[in-house]
Structure 1
């Protein structure tokens, strides 16, 4: 790597509050908030979705109102071409 052209990478804790999970990794993201992780202080970044809460990874499915979406589409754009 060339010197002084890449952002500084440092340890950061990402916290998913919806799943009550946190993980330590390296990132260039900055945060003013901190957290104690194994007796060391790290910056913390709260995220809305992580592998612990994403439906694809957890296998949890959500009920989607597909009928309502189809009806709304048909009202907006008319019935499909025949």
Structure 2
């Protein structure tokens, strides 16, 4: 790899806001956050909040979400008419 062209790569904590789950991994998003959190090992790491992770994602949890398909169909028929 060429020196001085790659972003900083280091440990960062991702926090799932929906489930309250946190996990430590490595990422290039280290320098993009000012917030810090003390991890279980006593070290302080940058933290990034995410909306969804494997703990709260419907595919992994088996819980499906209901979409309003009837409203979409009615809006399409109003806009373009029935066939």
TM-score, normalisation: structure 2 = 0.88
How far the C-alpha of 1:75 sits from its partner, in A, is 0.6
Unaligned runs of 5+ in 1: none
How far the C-alpha of 1:56 sits from its partner, in A, is 1.7
State the aligned residue count.
80
1:42 to 42, 45, 48: 45
- State how far apart, in whole Å, the 2-side matches of 1:45 and 1:19 are: 14
Over 6 Å off, 4+ runs: none
Confirm whether residue 75 of structure 1 aligns to residue 82 of structure 2.
no
TM-score, normalisation: structure 1 = 0.89
How far the C-alpha of 1:76 sits from its partner, in A, is 1.1
Unaligned runs of 5+ in 2: none
Which protein is richer in helix relative to its size? 2
Secondary structure, counterpart of 1:7 in structure 2: coil
The Cα RMSD (Å) is 1.1
